[in-house]
Chain A
Amino acid sequence: MATKLKEVDAVMVGMGWTGAIMARELTKAGLTVVGLERGVDRTPGEDFTLPGVRDELRYVQRLELMQDNSTDTITFRNAPAETALPIRRFGAFLPGEGVGGSGIHWGGLHWRFLPTDFRIRSALAERYGKQAIPDDMTIQDWPVSYEELETHYDRFDKLCGVSGKAGNLRGKIVDGGNPFEGPRSDEYPNQPIKSSTPGLMFGEAARGLGYHPFPIPISISSAPYTNVEGLPLGSCEYCGFCNRTACEANAKASSITTVMPALRADPKFELRARSFVTRLIYDKAAKKVQGVVYTDLRTGEEYEQPAGVVVLSAFVFGNTQMLLLSGIGEPYDHATGKGIVGKNYAYQFEAGATAWFENREFNVFMDSPGMSVCIDDFNGENFDHGGLGFFGGGYFTCSNASGVIGGRPLPHGSPRWGAGWKQATAKWYNSAARFNTQGSVYSHRDNYLDLDPTYRDALGRPLVRLTYNGTENDHKMSRYVVSKLEGIIKAMNPTHYETHLRPRNFTVVPYQSTHNTGGTIMGADPKSSVVNRYLQSWDAHNLFVQGASVFPQQHGYNPTGTVGALAYWSAKAITTQYLKNPGPLVHA
């Protein structure tokens, strides 16, 4: 029997980026907020200082900041006809766990989607005709436009102290930035991070071919910066320990550096770590959620926390699972195409290349993901897909082939061990460049999430089952963008280069991208979506679902910039509209 606690105004289920942003905005509006997080609490001062934070074995190989698969995982299969098996150690993607979530170990690549991305089905229909979109490509327009989100994108930029160079400032194309981006109301808060040598070589080659290179936008501060919460960020030290670990210099933005210090000081906010929310208490007749049930993982005791507003702010899988387990919304039925919860799971279709430049020294031990130079000429609707046989695209990047110990790629045919391997490593370690294409995944009716019939988590709940494979469209897209990337690499005149296409079937190893999206998608009506344009559930008006699980499809960019912008957009709707008049913000 769960112990019933005193009601609070709002409860967050998950304390990563969106939980922290929502909690901050709601406490500012006067609400009492409880943040529930199943993982541990971490602070920069206690957990992420030198020398411990530069432990590649601990963080990069042994994945200390990631979700604990022994407590909860997902099952996976490539196709509906197969039997799914549990992922016992994450590989292809690495959901984070603990206060800060995946936003602690991210690389910080901070993008906005294109204005046309937000109306992709309409844009494709206008340009290529309705018939050109395959029936099984279940993409849909977002119920919110770039123009509506712009001010929230800007706010999130200024929370994170993003470093970059604007390419479109209030409609004016600016030299040196991304000319394809939507109009920005303001320049980036910080100047770009210094570009790597291969990045600069890539930029020069790309420009020579008529493309438009620019430094990658990144949530790593290039100079000391005070953010919109009045919190200080340090400047990047180019130490190379970014992905899979935390920042020793307070330069890479995460919620634990940019929001949590303000929340921790606010008496209206209470953080409860090691608190695993198992279900929502749903009143179907009233179309409301009454609160949440959670287990304190330290004691095993169960609590019921009633709340006026419930925010689902977990990872994509957790958000979807919570709705399925709580009976909120109609589960997606793959056989009939009916139902919506779990529909339109999408991923990131990355492919790339490595090149080696004999006798060049790139100093690869100094690194930051922000040292990449990129082009956006082959993303979304930035290029004509007429006659190509696919839709979508992605941006291209080039930088050092980093990874302080782990990253030492060798040309094909080099010895794999022994003295020969050592010689080859010494020869090529410092002259290798890495290239990537950040490919979109346009939703397909066969890619979805539901509950596994067999496997359960440590608390006895059915696991989420992921059914996913790369589609014909996405493979064609990837082959095309990699062929364009290859043209630029050739122009850089490397000694050797190799392209890496994705294998036909998706596998859960090796690492590919943590950009999982969909499952609780947003849309214009309850038939085509789980949440409305304000991320409010159609089936429970006091339930708001945050994060990339609301993306109707995944575009050719990293998701976090849009995740943060949507959180501010949703928070504004709650504080300025919903609290005054609780009820549906969009009428079905």
Chain B
Amino acid sequence: MHCRFLWAGLLVLSLATPAAAADQAHGKQLYQACAACHGAEGKGGSLGPNLAGVVGRKAGSLDDFRYSNAMKRSDLVWDDGNLRDYVTNPQAKIKGNRMPFSGVANPGDADDIVAYLKTLK
């Protein structure tokens, strides 16, 4: 019982954590793993779409990138929550998308990456 209360408490805490607490600088470091495809500072690269301004953008909507059907049909507008879910486990969030990335293991890392992505304009 004691244990369950503790977990519940942690869950509330993590939900209550404002995005501003996420570590942008750490997110920038972690973004190095994304840069091979999405380019430095999200400017687009050889394999992945441009990520500048991705938060607030409709998923799969850039004209100059050939998205998977799964991404085009996802009917998502990227926000903190769904980007975090996607970065954590891309195939669970949008099944059949073609980003070759298995996801970040640590939930804090996903928040930090999203915080960094929000700075890309």
Residues of A at under 8 Å CB distance from B? 43-46, 48-51, 224, 226, 232-235, 237, 239, 248-251, 257, 261
Contacts and interface: CB of A to CB of B under 8 A. Distances in A.
Interface stretch (B5-13, B38-46, B109-117): B38-46
A279 to B, nearest CB: 35
Contacts of B45: 45, 232, 250
B113 to A, nearest CB: 13
B37 A250 contact: yes
A224 B36 contact: yes
Given A224-B32, A237-B100, A249-B100, A44 B39 contact: no
Given A49-B47, A232-B35, A239-B100, 8 more contacts: A50-B100, A224-B32, A224-B35, A224-B36, A235-B36, A250-B37, A250-B45, A251-B36
Contacts, number: 50
Contact of A49 (B32, B98, B102): B98
A224 B36 CA distance: 7
A217 B66 CA distance: 34
Interface in B40-59: 40, 45-47
Centre residue among B37, B40, B66, B102 by max chain A CB count within 10 A: B37
Contacts of A232: 32, 35-36, 39-40, 45
Instruction: State the main secondary structure of chain B at its contact with A.
Output: loop
A226 B32 CA distance: 9
Contact of B33 (A46, A51, A234): A234
A362 to B, nearest CB: 20
A159 to B, nearest CB: 15
A232 B34 CA distance: 9
B30 to A, nearest CB: 9
Given A45-B46, A45-B47, A261-B46, A50 B36 contact: no
Instruction: State the main secondary structure of chain A at its contact with B.
Output: loop
Centre residue among B32, B40, B47, B66 by max chain A CB count within 10 A: B47
14 contacts: A44-B46, A45-B46, A46-B66, A49-B98, A224-B33, A226-B35, A232-B36, A232-B39, A232-B40, A233-B36, A235-B33, A239-B100, A250-B36, A251-B36
Task: Classify chain B's interface size.
Answer: 10 to 19
Interface of B: 32-33, 35-37, 39-40, 45-47, 66, 98-100, 102
A51 B100 CA distance: 9
For the complex of A and B, 7 pairs with smallest distance between CB atoms: A234-B36, A224-B32, A50-B98, A250-B36, A44-B46, A232-B35, A232-B36
B100 A257 contact: no
Nearest to B45: A232
Centre residue among A44, A239, A251 by max chain B CB count within 10 A: A44
B35 A257 contact: no
A51 B47 CA distance: 13
A360 B20 CA distance: 48
Contact of A257 (B33, B40, B46, B98): B46
A248 B39 CA distance: 15
A250 B47 contact: yes
B98 A234 contact: no
Contacts of A49: 47, 66, 98, 100
